[in-house]
Amino acid sequence: MTDANPLVSLVYSSSATRPFDERELAELLAVSRARNSASDITGMLLYRRGEFVQILEGPRSDVEEVMEKIGRDPRHHDVRVLIEEPLHERRFAEWTMGYQSLVAADPAMASGYRDSFDDLRVGDHDMIGRAIMELTLWFRVRESVPSRG
């Protein structure tokens, strides 16, 4: 990173033009991870019912280049940058693209369960920031717990 190309974190949301099945998501992740690795981009991707929220971290010019590609990708529409901020260090340094599909395993989980990303699109900056931090924490905890399956 340089002063001219600082490390940034960018959070965006988008809607899929049609829902992705598991195979399509796997293909998207494989391509994204390879491209991100080559471009020094890290982050995480969340998917739920045709909606994406993604955090991208990396040098500003590389993050902007990824966002331009996403904006032109015919599989996405309603692409919105929710937060862009400078970073002192990466939150997802180990992941070229960490991924979780948000699926409720049990209807009893409904209390406090985030069923959509709609509130991220209409909220104020502080509320969006808090929601992203909660999602980040949730993601990091899930990634660190060994699978029970």
Tell whether the model's pLDDT for residue 143 goes beyond 60.
no
What's the length of the chain? 149
- What are the angstrom distances between the C-alpha of 126 and each of 3, 43, 130? 26, 21, 6
Q: Give residues with Cβ within 8 angstroms of 65, minimum separation 6.
A: 39
Tell whether the model's pLDDT for residue 115 goes beyond 60.
no
What domains appear along the chain, each with residue ranges and CATH number?
A: 7-144 (3.30.70.100)
Question: What is the rounded CA–CA span in Å between residue 102 and residue 52?
Answer: 10
Continuous segment of H or E residues that includes residue 96: none
- What are the angstrom distances between the C-alpha of 129 and each of 10, 12, 45, 121, 138? 11, 12, 16, 12, 14
Position 9 scores a pLDDT of 92
Position 79 scores a pLDDT of 93
Nearest to 132 by CA among 145, 117, 110, 113: 117
- Per-residue pLDDT reduced to its tens digit, 26-49: 888 888 888 888 888 998 888 888
Tell whether the model's pLDDT for residue 7 goes beyond 90.
yes
Question: What is the rounded CA–CA span in Å between residue 27 and residue 106?
Answer: 27
Indicate if the alpha-carbon torsion angle 49, 50, 53, 56 is positive or negative.
Answer: positive
Rounded to two decimals, the pTM is 0.71
